[in-house]
Chain A
């Protein structure tokens, strides 16, 4: 895996994306409001490349993690109130709960890529890299010498 410096958040593997792979985009599911949630509908382009159950479990895990990040629970309220009391200087010192979850999601995506998706010729792109608009799945081309 090529290692790129400059402190990019992007997963190393996404940087060596071949240019001629086709991409599939899992769009956001807004049926529960503005919370980040991806559709679990299995797209035709993935048919044959990955099992529906594995795909759905990945999406559901991601959805659960995002839900936890955005949940309106007392932990998030306390964090915000504490930050307000410290004149928001605490944000300079600590990561917010949301940021911590996003890091966790990044690690989960990398781990899923390594164990599940890349062996099947697919690659997930962390939704943060796409502005949380969509979950991009690259269908890796076998002919491309990566």
Chain B
């Protein structure tokens, strides 16, 4: 029943791209006050809502009939990214969904440093040395730039498997002699021996991949991240392979900044109290007191964290591995870290100065539907134009890609199942906590229903279901 499905998906598509008026970023997070709705407003209204999101894409939606013109702009991959992330600046910035604490971190650092430069530095520059504010400014800039680099970069997200890949994995690990109708999920782990140490690779039900060693699935961002360390709310992002060194430099420089400001503030107050008494000094410079309090309480946590991560860097472990005790000697068996380079120096060098791959999710790349899926149409270019109407065979390609967006953390639109049924099914990740709804196994003839926006180009199974 392509009509019903098509209509549903067109509604879904439209709702997802609803613009957020008060946000800086073109993120695809929907407003909680305007929940996911399947409304059926006519096309012109929806077109205007697109304009607010991406004004340079109006042209492609106005071109519904032509089969020869290519659209001027295509949709970028970040717009159809299945994880729970927020993208800004047209895909250049990637953060987690909840960024409130990140803004708090920024404000706290900026305000404290601002008070320092405004109230303590003039006195110290005059009475001690102007090198104090100079070093302070350099340190502040370094702290903020490492913070931004940690928060805004891709931590090392592993793109989800295409349906063909997922089907292939399922086929390889399928339990033989299973009764038809009763679905037994494939085994979740695979063991691999790395330098003599047995390491278990877990199967991720959300991403449909066997996670590489040291990778882990972040339930907050709903992504598998390589060399997953932890999800840090203070920086508003996961900390993984690609941004760990910036995170480490951030907390290291922040602890130095904290100690530096605290020391300078104390120096300032003591110098002032030599002219007068200490209470009068505090009264004359209340900002110094505020800074001292903030720094005093921050220093314990930040310096402690910096020390902990220094230990992790030196032993080539992640927070995740340390918490789980994967490679600790306490287990009573021959356990060693197969990823360690052997010496503390080499480990530090490897973690902090080693090569990092570019972002594998390619957020700013364009989504190009596979031309083979335009068998029902004449042109790749009309795919984007026809998503709303759904009547054109190429429309479903874009719908499939868009239908993965989860504004509330839940998948509200579906791909047609691979066995050709037109019923949409809900997916829920059985590994995740209940409030994070992602995928679930559905027994429809014992098949995994694989769905992935990235696979909508190049996947034969989706193609078939749309032509039923």
The residues of A with any CB-CB pair to B shorter than 8 Å are 2, 4-10, 14-21, 23-25, 27-28, 30-34, 69-72, 76-77, 79-81, 84, 87-88, 96-99, 102, 128, 130-134, 136
Contacts and interface: CB of A to CB of B under 8 A. Distances in A.
A34 B361 CA distance: 18
A131 B195 contact: no
B161 A10 contact: no
B339 interface: yes
A98 B194 CA distance: 24
Given A34-B227, A80-B355, A6 B368 contact: yes
B358 A98 contact: yes
Contact of B165 (A16, A25, A72, A99): A25
B365 interface: yes
B360 A72 contact: no
Given A28-B212, A69-B355, 12 more contacts: A4-B368, A14-B458, A17-B370, A19-B370, A20-B372, A23-B164, A25-B168, A31-B194, A32-B195, A69-B357, A99-B358, A102-B358
Contacts of A31: 192-194
B59 to A, nearest CB: 14
B213 A30 contact: yes
Interface stretch (B104-112, B175-183, B346-354, B436-444): B346-354
Contacts of B212: 28, 30, 34
A39 B192 CA distance: 13
Interface in B330-365: 338-339, 341, 346, 349-350, 352-358, 360-362, 365
B209 interface: yes
8 contacts: A7-B366, A9-B362, A80-B355, A96-B358, A130-B165, A131-B159, A133-B158, A133-B161
Contact of A96 (B341, B355, B362, B463): B355
B195 A128 contact: no
Contacts of B169: 25
B51 interface: no
Nearest to B461: A19
Interface in B187-211: 192-195, 199, 201, 209-210
B341 A2 contact: no
Contacts of B451: none
A8 to B, nearest CB: 6
A69 to B, nearest CB: 6
B460 interface: yes
B352 A80 contact: yes
Nearest to B373: A19
A131 B157 CA distance: 9
B380 interface: yes
B358 A131 contact: no
Nearest to B161: A133
B456 to A, nearest CB: 11
Interface string B12-33: 0000000000000000000000
Interface string B368-402: 10111101000010000000000000000000000
B226 interface: yes
B145 A34 contact: no
B70 interface: yes
B341 A72 contact: yes
Contacts of B365: 8-9
A23 B360 contact: no
B454 to A, nearest CB: 8
B201 A30 contact: yes
Given A23-B168, A30-B213, A96-B355, A77 B349 contact: yes
B360 to A, nearest CB: 4
B195 A33 contact: yes
Interface in B294-316: none
Nearest to A28: B212
Contacts of B149: 88
Contacts of A5: 70
A96 B358 CA distance: 8
B82 to A, nearest CB: 12
Contacts of B459: 19
A21 B352 CA distance: 43
B139 interface: no
A56 B168 CA distance: 21
B194 A70 contact: no
Given A19-B459, A96-B356, A130-B162, A88 B370 contact: no
A99 to B, nearest CB: 5
A4 B169 CA distance: 31
A23 B353 CA distance: 38
Nearest to A101: B355
Given A19-B460, A20-B460, A80-B354, A30 B199 contact: yes
Most central of B162, B370, B373, B458 by chain A CB within 10 Å: B458
B209 A133 contact: yes
A131 B158 contact: yes
A36 B370 CA distance: 27
A87 B349 CA distance: 18
Contacts of B353: 76-77, 80-81
Interface in B132-151: 142, 145, 149
A131 B349 CA distance: 26
B214 interface: yes
B266 interface: no
Nearest to B463: A19
Nearest to A133: B209
Contact of B339 (A25, A33, A80, A133): A33
B168 A6 contact: no
Contacts of B371: 2, 15-17
Contacts of A70: 354-355, 357
